[in-house]
Amino acid sequence: MSLLITEECIACDACIDECPNEAIEADDPIYMIDPDKCTECIEEGGEPSCVPACPVDCIIPDPDNVENAKELKLKAKHINKED
Ligand code: SF4
Ligand code: SF4
DSSP string for residues in 1-40: --EEE-TT-----TTGGG-TT--EE--SSS-EE-TTT--T
Tally the domains of the chain. Answer: 1
Q: What is the pLDDT of residue 49?
A: 97
Q: What is the pLDDT of residue 81?
A: 83
Q: Could you tell which of 50, 66, 73, 79 is best to mutate to test the pocket of ligand 1, judged by most ligand atoms within 8 Å of the CB? A: 50
Among all bound ligands, the one having the nearest atom to the CA of 14 is: 2
Domain containing residue 64: 3-82
Q: What is the pLDDT of residue 83?
A: 61
pTM comes to 0.93
Tens-level pLDDT at each residue, the chain (83 residues): 689 999 999 999 999 999 999 999 999 999 999 999 999 999 888 799 999 999 999 999 999 999 999 999 999 999 988 66
Residue 11 sits in a domain whose CATH number is 3.30.70.20
**CA of 66 relative to ligand 2 center, distance in Å:** 22
Cβ contact 2:33 at 8 Å: yes
CA angle 15, 6, 81 (to 5 degrees): 50
The residue whose CA has the least distance to atom 8 of ligand 2 is 9
